[in-house]
Structure 1
Amino acid sequence: LRCLTVDDGRSLVLGKEPVFYKDQAVGYVTSAAYGYTVAKPIAYAYLPAEVSLGDSVEIAYFGRRIQATVTADPLYDPTMTRLRG
């Protein structure tokens, strides 16, 4: 189970969407929501081991592909820079 952040910062997915890596369907989204601590949508997806941290993937959503990045989990702001402005 890998954490993904949506690159455009505004496209939300719901879950069960296929995930593509190098134009191949390699997994699917299990859950998704808006990540308030990182100010962008996040998703969790089952992906194979060959997909590494920092890799770009695409989430298929109603006929379009949404760019996302495989991100280290957990997502948080350790220095509280967002809170402090």
Structure 2
Amino acid sequence: MELWPPRQQGMKAMIEARLLVERGTLRDQSEDWGAFHFLALPSPGDRVAVDRDEGVHYLTVICVHHAPVAVARGAQPSAQVVAKWTGAE
């Protein structure tokens, strides 16, 4: 998880997380839609609107996988948002 952009006066930091989308049954392979910036990590049940493939896709968050790291390591934590595709415009 990375804060973007680096904190500047008057700007809000964003969290980068990988978006994994379930489009079929939960047994099907998740689609990796890549990394997106969030103002805050969503919670299960949240609805997310994603601009993709020349349209807006609506998703419902199933869960968020957090991968924290120890501060002493200096590495970046990461997160994956798993969401169910519910429709598109």
TM-score, normalised to structure 1, is 0.36
Q: Which structure has the larger Rg?
A: 2
With CA pairs under 8 Å and 6+ residues apart, which has the higher RCO, 1 or 2? 1
TM-score, normalised to structure 2, is 0.35
- Point out the structure with the larger strand share: 2
